[in-house]
Structure formats: C-alpha cells, structure tokens
C-alpha cells in the first residue's frame, strides 16, 4: 500500500452490514459483553454501540492493509442513535489527514455509519501512526 498516495477526502472503504443476531453475538462474545442493557423500551434488541463502531473500522483496516507496528494514537466517537438487531448499516471510511512529521507518517481516518433511512449512527475519528 502506497500510503503517500492517499488523498484527504478519499473514501477508502464502503460496505453494507446486516446487524443480524449472529454478528452481534460474535461481537459480544469477542469482548465478553455480559451487559443486561440490551432490550429497549419497545422490546427491540439493541446492538452495543461499540459493535457498530468496530465494524465500521474493520473496513478501513482491511482497505489500508495496516501493518504490524502501527500505533493507534487516539479516537473520538460520537453516537447519534441506537441501532437494533436486524438493522442494515452502511459504513464508510474516509481519509481526513495524511501527513509526515519527522519522517513518520500520520493518517487520520473518519468512519461514518448510517442506517437504512440514512440517519447517522456512530462517527469515529481515528488517529494512527505508521512507522
């Protein structure tokens, strides 16, 4: 991957994900989520907010072929609404900064999740350092 060729504003991944029971259960098992806060007032099963955030970043990691030795420096996450099991989401990852400081490359990625009616789910800004 030629990281120097990545341009600000470039969409590096875009995928649709069905938040089915298996996908959500796999996330909960991976992070040992034993929370009982999974049923909303309407009786719908809620998706853990970090599940949608993690799934949105998965596409960026694959697209960038992030190598070993990469440091994850920081992140900001904003959640606009809850998501239910059964929802379909669209996840896009965009380069928002690509710079060199003291011969080290820094790449900033922003992911955006929207549901079927185009309402925003979690937004995530990720700051990575790539040696």
Q: What digits encode the pLDDT tens for the residues 51-87? A: 888 888 888 888 988 877 777 778 888 888 888 899 9
Beta bridge partners of 97: 108
Instruction: Note the pTM of the prediction, 2 decimals.
Output: 0.77
Q: What does the mean pLDDT of the chain come to?
A: 82
pLDDT at 79: 84
Round to the nearest angstrom and report the end-to-end CA distance of the chain.
Answer: 13
Model confidence at 7, pLDDT cuts 50, 70, 90, reads very high
Report the C-alpha gap between 14 and 89 in whole angstroms. 11
| 82 close to 113: Cβ distance less than 8 angstroms | no
Give the chain's domains with CATH numbers: 3-130 (3.10.129.10)
- Please determine, for residue 131, whether its predicted confidence score (pLDDT) is greater than 50: no
Closest CA to 109 of 68, 73, 67: 73
- pLDDT band at residue 125, thresholds of 50, 70 and 90? low
Q: Is 25 helix (H, G, I), strand (E, B) or coil?
A: helix
Residue with the bigger pLDDT between 123 and 49: it is 49
The predicted structure's pLDDT at residue 40: 57
| Residues 6+ away with beta carbon under 8 Å from 95 | 6, 7, 8, 9, 10, 12, 107, 108, 109
64, 131, 114: which is closest to 94 by C-alpha?
Answer: 64
């Amino acid at each position: 991957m030629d990281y120097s060729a990545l341009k600000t504003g470039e969409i590096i991944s875009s995928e649709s994900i069905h938040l089915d029971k298996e996908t959500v259960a796999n996330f909960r098992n991976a992070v040992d989520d034993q929370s009982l806060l999974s049923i909303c007032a309407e009786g719908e099963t809620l998706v853990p907010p970090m599940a949608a955030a993690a799934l949105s970043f998965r596409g960026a990691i694959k697209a960038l072929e992030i190598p070993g030795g990469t440091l994850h420096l920081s992140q900001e996450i904003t959640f606009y609404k809850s998501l239910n099991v059964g929802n379909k989401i669209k996840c896009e990852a965009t380069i928002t900064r690509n710079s060199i400081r003291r011969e080290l490359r820094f790449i900033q990625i922003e992911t955006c999740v929207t549901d079927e009616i185009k309402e925003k789910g979690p937004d995530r800004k990720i700051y990575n350092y790539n040696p």
